[in-house]
Structure 1
Amino acid sequence: MKWVSVLLICLGAGMAAAADFVTSTTFTQVPAAERVAAIAKKVRDPKQAPVSPDREAVRSPDPLTTASVAGYYADPGPTKKGALSGFDLYLFPDETFIYLEWADIMPRTIMSKGAWALENGYVALHDDGETSKPHERQPSPSVWLPLVVDLGTTQIPCLMDGQWWYGDFMENPRESGDPSSIIWSSLEKSSDLPISETTALKADLKRKHWRPHYLAGDGLEDEGTVW
């Protein structure tokens, strides 16, 4: 079985049920602040006092700027260890991005790249079209909701995928009453990305994880292919 078929089963199947819940277009029609408020309401524990009278345990980043949002996001991130698959999103401070997926049976692979921007409170990814994807594979997430999860002594910046994870999170009754549950449905910010390191980091990611033949599904081996 080609890697692309395995990827479809392992990464695509779990998302397929939620894919119809919301699309990137309809998701952004609702203001980001309303989405954040809905999440905050869901995870609010009526038995406990809020972190502070005027601050929810889940909120939008303040300030919400490209400088504050830029960084390396991952699932699993620093607070969630151990997984058989995962996702990496590099939001570079020059407003470009690289998105990768990996699994125990699939090497870390660049699935999407291009430019990113803050649009109406959301992080919008605009793919540059250079990754060739078979039509049957789920498209890479293109809209993310920036969040800060406040656990009292720790504030954790996260990005929740608006195309699949938000729908799953809001529909799942088990996610109520616990702000930390958001971390399990989001990419967690793992580190900042200094502008001085951007060029070198991009080159390293391209060298190690750019697999155009794999994405095209033609069964060819990649031998260090780069842009």
Structure 2
Amino acid sequence: MDTLDSKEKMEQLKRLRASAKRKFTRKHNIFTESLGDDDPLVVLQGNFDQCDSAFIEVEKIHEEYIGVLSETGADESVMENEDSYIFDIERKKNNAHKQLEKKKEVDSKILDCKTKVKVKALDPPMFDGNLRDYPSFKADFERLIQNSFGKDPYALKQCLTGDALKTVKGVENDYELMIKRLDDKYGNSRKVVDLVLCDLKALKKIPEGDSKEFLKAVDKIETCWLDLKKNEFDSRNE
């Protein structure tokens, strides 16, 4: 390619590149305005895609221009100046992409906050020393507290009150000893059976026609049955 043809080609490419740059600038401005207007993410994505396509067009023409310029024997300073031309445009495009990704991240966090169901934290199970409640308490404690905090003596202590708290006094820093004391005192099924039998023996004869006392008796018997069932009496404790 002779010098005259090279110059003509370069001038043609420079005009095409300038036109492509103007198109990129328009698309970039549209994206920036859309971002400032807080348009929906789908709109922002579409505007950025057009901006990105416009940049690719500029870059393609620029690379062709650089190739022709290189053939003319242009010195290093001229080549570096041309590199800064495309660098400035690419920097704008990359900054637009960063803003788009930041918008996506913010929208994602907002969506997570809106979709998460806010549930009141469960109150920890409490045990005050009622013998009949121990099996249920222990099962709830292991499932809700121990699974989260492990064998933490402090966590166990926070779930005890009254006589149960007194039972572990002196060993509050030893989880295993605390559990052993509680099991020894409240974990014997025979003791529960004895309490149930006492309640049943205490039932009095119901006067004929006294529906109120009859319902009380039924409720008492049902409670005794449920206490026996949840304690799962083990004959080895007899």
Q: Same fold (TM over 0.5)?
A: no
The TM tier, using the shorter chain, reads under 0.3
| TM-score, normalised relative to structure 2 | 0.17
| TM-score, normalised relative to structure 1 | 0.18
More helix per residue: 2
Asked which structure has the greater RCO (Cα within 8 Å, sep 6+), the reply is 1
More strand per residue: 1
